[in-house]
Amino acid sequence: MRAAEIAAGVRAGTLRAADLTEQHLARIAEREGEIHAFNHVMADEARAQAARIDAAAAAGNDPGPLAGVTVALKDNMCTRGVPTTCSSRILEGWKPPYNATVVDTLHAAGAVVVGKTNLDEFAMGSSTENSAFGPTRNPLDTSRVPGGSSGGSAAAVAAGFSQFSLGSDTGGSIRQPAALCGVVGVKPTYGYVSRYGLVAFASSLDQIGPFTSSVEDAALVLDVIGGHDPHDSTSIPQQHPSLVDSLQQGVEGLRIGRITDLPEGADPDVNERLEAAFEALAAAGATIVDVEVPAFTFGLTAYYLIAPAEASSNLARYDGVRYGMRVEAADTNAMYGATREKGFGDEVKRRIMLGTYALSAGYYDAYYGKALKVRRLIHDDFERAYTKADVLLTPTSPSVAFEFGSKGDNPLAMYLCDTYTIPTNLAGHPGMSVPYGTGAHGLPVGVQVLAGTLQEPTMFRVAAALERSVS
Ligand code: GLN
């Protein structure tokens, strides 16, 4: 069922939030042992919220546009009184004293939170293998990764554990796992959704967005969670037009850009699906145009200076004093060191070292400063491309879901998973992954739709057309 149908039924009293919640909890009980999508299932809280919603509907009050719709939250979003771990040992035992804005917004809209999902530690990774609590498995093939870093959120939707989920995307962490799990994943324009209460990884890149099983559900969720939040100084101070309203508009007359100098590296099965997507949009009345985005290819390099630099600063706050675990030692400095040594995993330490180096005196201009200049070039190249095309189409991930351990000892191979997603984050633009059939091993392939700042309505028109053409 679509989220809008569920909410309409619950609002009208023909469906009960309690029943829908039990169905999802039963599904979790059935398969969670095998999948490990969650760090924390919130069965009691979910039942209590469902009861509140049914009572509101029965009393003639409107429980909201997501009434009775279940949601799973990436475990880097603060939930009051409920553990928020970022899948890191260093936050063990920490319970936030407040909710992220998105959590309050979802509650107010009548959504039912069923749990907190697994991720690569502090959202650093592309397979969820970097979680301190063990990996999540891809529900479509449990010998393979679900992608990352929001792997638990992608898997939760693919496995039917919740109607939708939220993830965060700093360099691809919503779109890539969405592609690997065969669901829709959206990274909105930077500032579209409040990041208040999202544990920071790289603050100039982080964005929250939804995973759903349909384009329409994604539009509805973004219509609910998008908009200005005075608690987040980077949130855009304006109301966004309804994305649900854009879905039926079709693509006739739209210009769909093919990036002629896109970095190579996508597998043939992925490229085949991309070609099929171009053909389907042309058949639906769009025009395919060639564009160049020369700096696209430098995205990965710039990102692995900028994101670690920001992370090294953001993660300095985990010192054994303010949050979570502490390892006692002879003096304060030794305590900081021992806590961070034990609390952080290898990938997080690697990023902190990279970032600290890139920011250090003498290297700042050569590394961090230069990366910022490249970032500007990427942004400007995209802006030029968007004068010729309304949206751009690329693969989301270079390959379908890969096997556990296949990139584990090679950080660079893992980083290359984000070749096609990262430039968008650096530009601040929106992007989304739409499932577009299957490739190797019968596994899903995602096509990425990219658009300019606040061009979500156009991006969703194209995504809806792609979805119509494939189902
Ligand atoms: N995989 C990328 C990284 O490891 C992106 C992660 C993200 O978007 N949070 O940094």
CA pair distance 139, 141, nearest whole angstrom: 6
- Around Cβ 9, how many Cβ atoms within 10 Å? 18
Among 76, 170, 187, 352, which residue has the most ligand 1 atoms within 8 Å of its CB, making it the best to mutate?
170
CA pair distance 469, 66, nearest whole angstrom: 27
Separation of 391 CA from ligand 1 center, angstroms?
23
pLDDT of 285 reads 98
Residue range 248-303, pLDDT digits in tens? 999 999 999 999 999 999 999 999 999 999 999 999 999 999 999 999 999 999 99
Separation of 173 CA from ligand 1 center, angstroms?
5
Is residue 173 flagged as an active site residue?
A: yes
Give which of 104, 102, 29, 109 is closest to 64, Cα–Cα: 109
Q: Is the pLDDT of residue 471 over 80?
A: no
Separation of 358 CA from ligand 1 center, angstroms?
18
More confident residue, 196 or 411: 196
440: left (phi over 0), alpha (psi -120 to 50) or beta: beta
pLDDT of 409 reads 81
For range 430-458, the mean pLDDT: 98
| Tokens matching residue 17 | 């939030």
For the entire predicted model, the pTM comes to: 0.98
Residue range 407-420, pLDDT digits in tens? 978 899 999 999 99
Model confidence at 423, pLDDT cuts 50, 70, 90, reads very high
From residue 178, give the alpha-carbon distance in Å to each of 151, 200, 446.
8, 21, 7
pLDDT of 408 reads 73
